[in-house]
Copies of this chain bind each other. A is one copy, B any other.
């Protein structure tokens, strides 16, 4: 077998592998966004108590909020650069901006601690959910909250 054949992308591979697995679902970003919102609400509910138990809880919640906001960003990035194709961009010309602003909404949830930010993030994820399932002509996937 010569080297040229080695370097040629196989037809089988390209027919089956336009993504890592073809399984995309904005629910992954939605779950993490809900966790961000939950943390923001619980941090607010802790008030300004200064005993160790509250400090332990508040610290953990700030860190979990940070991690979950990171997961939202990562999950949205995957949809943005792996799932969406040029033909989707033609149909949704503001697609890049929708994702960019959603990522910035997730950053805001890290920089501050305010349930309004988590609600805004969930709105951004819902908008992406709607675009995503429309590109698949799927009308059977509701946008629900696990923690309404």
Q: List residues of chain A with CB under 8 Å of any chain B CB.
A: 1, 3, 5-10, 12-14, 16-17, 20-25, 27-28, 31, 34-35, 38-39, 42-64, 66, 68, 73-74, 77, 80-82, 96-97, 100, 103-104, 107, 110-114, 140-142, 144, 146-147
Residues from chain B with Cβ under 8 Å of A56 in the complex: 13, 43, 62, 111-113
Residues from chain B with Cβ under 8 Å of A23 in the complex: 31, 34-35, 38, 146-147
Copies, count? 6
Query: Across the interface, do A44 and B100 meet the contact criterion of CB distance under 8 Å?
Result: no
Query: Across the interface, do A64 and B140 meet the contact criterion of CB distance under 8 Å?
Result: no
How far, in angstroms, from A68 to B20 measured CA to CA in the complex? 11
Q: Which of B8, B20, B60 contacts A62 (CB 8 A)?
A: B60
